[in-house]
Amino acid sequence: MTNGIFWVGQQTQLNQFARSDRNLAWIHIAFLCAISLTPFSTALLAEYIHFRIALLVYWFNILLLGGALYWSWIYATRARLLAEDIPAEIHSAVIRRIVIAQSLYACGAALCFLNTYYSIAAIVLVQVNYAIAPRFCWGLFSRKAGRDD
């Protein structure tokens, strides 16, 4: 589910780009590197579910994924790689969505200092929210941008 959520986030961003350049390609390669770490961090958490460090490694992997998407969007905006017809509110909505998600993940990870199970439950709830919500939220973004994605 983690990879799927971030993959959809990346695809949503890619749909807003009119063009690309070498730097953006490298940013997305960094994103794919973070994706490739998720089996390791997930297996570590599954094997050592009682250890905070395992949970923090998993959370750090999520932080890398969110950071790469944030970096991609900021870079694409500054380099003028986005489609010209994107409404201004889309930019702030993408930034807000990434920052809120990462903040919720960080709060969930912080719960590991109370109990790792509470922390895992919080992270799973954030993931379920983002797995279900995008269909509605990104559909609104697509309609505002005049797209049927």
DSSP line for 15-63: HHBS---HHHHHHHHHHHHHHHHHHHHHHHHHHTTT-HHHHHHHHHHHH
| Polymer length in residues for the chain | 149
Give which of 29, 8, 23 is closest to 101, Cα–Cα: 8
Give which of 11, 13, 149 is closest to 81, Cα–Cα: 13
pLDDT for 149: 46
Judge whether 149 lies within some domain: no
Judge whether 110 lies within some domain: yes
pLDDT for 4: 87
With beta carbons less than 8 A apart as the criterion, state whether 141 and 93 touch: yes
- Count structural domains, the chain: 1
pLDDT for 135: 53
pLDDT for 143: 47
Task: For the chain, list residues with pLDDT below 70.
Answer: 134-149
pLDDT for 88: 82
Domain boundaries, position 137: 2-144
Judge whether 48 lies within some domain: yes
pLDDT for 89: 86
